[in-house]
Amino acid sequence: MIVAESRRQSRQYVNSVKAESVLPILLVTPATVGLALCVGLPTLLSLVGSFFSIPLVPGAPWQFVGFDNFVFVFTDDAVLQSIVNTFVYSALTIVPSLAIGLGLALLANAVVKGRALVRTLLFLPMTANLVAMSVVFNWIFSFNGGFVNQVLGLLGVAPINWTGDSQTSLLTVAMVGVWRTASLTMMIFFAGLATIPTSIDEATRSDGIRGLVRLTKITLPLIAPTVVFASVMAVLNSVQVFESINIMTQGGPLGSSETVLTMIWKLGFEYFELGRASALSFVLLAVLVLLGVLQRRTLAGGVK
């Protein structure tokens, strides 16, 4: 009888498992199909497309060109300049953004009165629309009557053609980049600092550990995952800069502020060299994926 009972139970179990096994598959299907079509397939296509000359007309045959697109990407002067510019832009933005973001998070945390207001105001650059703010910065850095040149004029400095001079164009968009990215990293550091238990704070204080020692020996090690995450976000933001350049300099003058993403855009949608654009995209993707994997390695255990 016990055997019959357990058989009945197990048959019931099998039936419910059957019904229950289809449903979860149905539940994940839309997301899986969506990711496959909108992320998986394009990623694959960006690799495959790198080896072809692709006409813009849908359905027209692709022509296999071997490694020509990659050769082009690594030998063309304009593309190489855009790669160099991306490195320069990143150098100008990443470290300052992280230093300012961390510094401001620490300082604003120490503010007693009006801390919430200070934090909200410091978050604003991150929240605003970058196209809109680039239009505003265009005006602030405008050669004629722009605020920066007005202030410089008061100091007796001749007006500078910030966005229109190949010496300053990249620097100008980099300043906008720091203005925005420092706000993002500060937001991330704020969240990280909030995870430090107050007991540790009190203990270090009563032990008289403060200043730089406290920062490097206590605070930074405690928020190490946050530091890694903020760094990755700063790098991602810098390497993929687009809006500010598209609005303020269009990559010019003479390609002096062209970056990888604006170059991909030009190759693909102004020169209609979709194969070459795919090749450059794929190089950028490889770099970003490598970066993401490194981040996960560093944060091993962070992902369950």
Partner 1 sequence: MTRASKVLLTLVVLAAVAVAIFPFYWMIRTSVAAPSEVLSGGLGFFPETVTLENYKRAWEDGALGQSIIVGLANVFGILALQLVTCIPAAYVLAKVPRRWGRVLLTFVLAGLLVPTQVILVPLFIGVNAVGLADSLGGLILPFATSAFGIYMLRQQMLSIPDTLLEAAKTDGLGTIRTLISIVIPMAAPGIAAFSIFSIFVHWNDYIWPLLVARSPELRTPPLALAVFQQADAGMDYTALTAGAAIVTAPIVLLFLVAQKHFVQGMSGAESPS
Query: Closest approach of Cβ 208 to partner 1, in Å?
Result: 14
Is 261 in contact with 177 (CB distance < 8 Å)?
no
Query: Closest approach of Cβ 34 to partner 1, in Å?
Result: 3
Q: Report the residue number, 1 or 303, with the smaller CB distance to partner 1.
A: 303
Q: Report the residue number, 45 or 88, with the smaller CB distance to partner 1.
A: 45
CB proximity list for 152: less than 8 A, separation 6 or greater = 158, 159, 160
Query: Closest approach of Cβ 3 to partner 1, in Å?
Result: 26
CA distance to 71, 159, 187, per residue, from 75 (Å): 6, 37, 40
Q: Report the residue number, 168 or 185, with the smaller CB distance to partner 1.
A: 185
Q: Report the residue number, 1 or 293, with the smaller CB distance to partner 1.
A: 293
Query: Closest approach of Cβ 292 to partner 1, in Å?
Result: 4
Residues 113, 116, 122, CA angle at the centre, nearest 5°?
A: 110
Query: Closest approach of Cβ 147 to partner 1, in Å?
Result: 6
CB proximity list for 298: less than 8 A, separation 6 or greater = 228
Phi-psi group of 254: left, alpha or beta (phi > 0 → left; psi -120 to 50 → alpha; rest → beta): left
Query: Closest approach of Cβ 196 to partner 1, in Å?
Result: 15
Query: Closest approach of Cβ 44 to partner 1, in Å?
Result: 8
Query: Closest approach of Cβ 182 to partner 1, in Å?
Result: 9
Q: CA-to-CA distance for 56 and 74, rounded, in angstroms?
A: 23
Q: Report the residue number, 138 or 161, with the smaller CB distance to partner 1.
A: 138
Point out which residues pair with 53 in neighbouring strands. 63
Q: Report the residue number, 149 or 168, with the smaller CB distance to partner 1.
A: 149
How many C-beta neighbours within 10 Å does residue 17 have? Answer: 9
Q: CA-to-CA distance for 166 and 64, rounded, in angstroms?
A: 38
CB proximity list for 279: less than 8 A, separation 6 or greater = 50, 69, 70, 72, 73
Q: Report the residue number, 70 or 137, with the smaller CB distance to partner 1.
A: 137
Q: Report the residue number, 137 or 218, with the smaller CB distance to partner 1.
A: 137
For residue 181, the one-letter residue type is: T
